[in-house]
Amino acid sequence: MSAIQLQRAQELRLPSQTAMLYRESSVQHFWDTNKSTLIDAWAEWEKTQENSFLLNGSLFDKALREAITQAWQDPSKEFAVKDLLTEVASDVYQLQLFDPAKLAALRAYLKNAWNAQIPLRPPYGIALNRGGAMLDKRSEGYFAAPSFQAFYQEVLDIYMRPISRLLFPEIIGFDTQTFGFSINYKPTTDNSLRPHSDASAVTLNVNLNIPGEEFTGSSVDFFDQSSGKMIPLTFTPGSAMLHRGSVVHTAQPIRSGERTNFVMWLFGNRGQTPLPNTTRPIIAATERWTKTQSLTDNYAPF
């Protein structure tokens, strides 16, 4: 691998925002043609990052990390994980995923990545998003830095999937495939999302704001089936919302400051998700705390 690939990637001209928004054929051609160059460039870039080694388990909330480790060792003790989850609306749970004191290192790493001048594809429809990028290797133009990819898989495989199976056992078999992106809300660019549901079996939405990085507005409102009302929820540094993808939700306009989040999805092969109102089966704890052996397909929701 040569630093020449990093230079080549930095010299590439990213397709226009308009072309990406309308998904013109030239955009797909750009990502397909430069795929190997971009992957090599991210690997070379990461060698220059002193804080890439900090992308490890120490970023997770201590209580959650200890409970998760215990459950993987002995699934019968998974109750300690569930005790850290709070149901804040129907099929919507809140938890502390990351240690707020450790987020500065992650944010510094991400800031360097966004400023690396290596083309990244923002999520479709969010073309003005400065901090928007695809995280999963199934997506073209994804954030391919090796240390980040290892960290991303740890979030999905060690934390998200077993917790999701604990809460929503009906997703087993519909949680073999992964998808993810980052998003940054601020008043002058992308500042909200209209009501929608996700094309996922389950969604994890994680806030990356560091303590003191305040914002106003930008609540995420979830439809609560039990009350028939939208319930507004606000993120705090390192907190996360874990919910069934079918739950209708909306991001309200941000009025000041910025909000940065990772959004991660699990679904079945070729985007399959459980049917609505699927009965939740009773399963053994050992079925939850098992790594999936399914092969990764190439399907990307967008």
Question: Closest Cα to residue 294, out of 194, 158, 177?
Answer: 177
pTM strictly above 0.85: yes
pLDDT tens-digit readout, 115-140 = 999 999 988 765 555 568 999 999 99
| Residue 215 · residue 257 · CB < 8 Å | yes
What mean pLDDT comes out for the span 26-51? 94
CATH architecture of 52-288: Sandwich (2.60)
Point out the least confidently predicted range of 47-51, 182-186, 188-192, 259-263: 188-192
Each residue's pLDDT tens digit, 288-298: 999 988 888 99
**pLDDT higher than threshold 50 for residue 47:** yes
CA atoms of 259 and 214, how far apart (whole Å): 8
Q: What DSSP string runs through 265-290?
A: EEE-GGG--PPTTPPPPP--HHHHSS
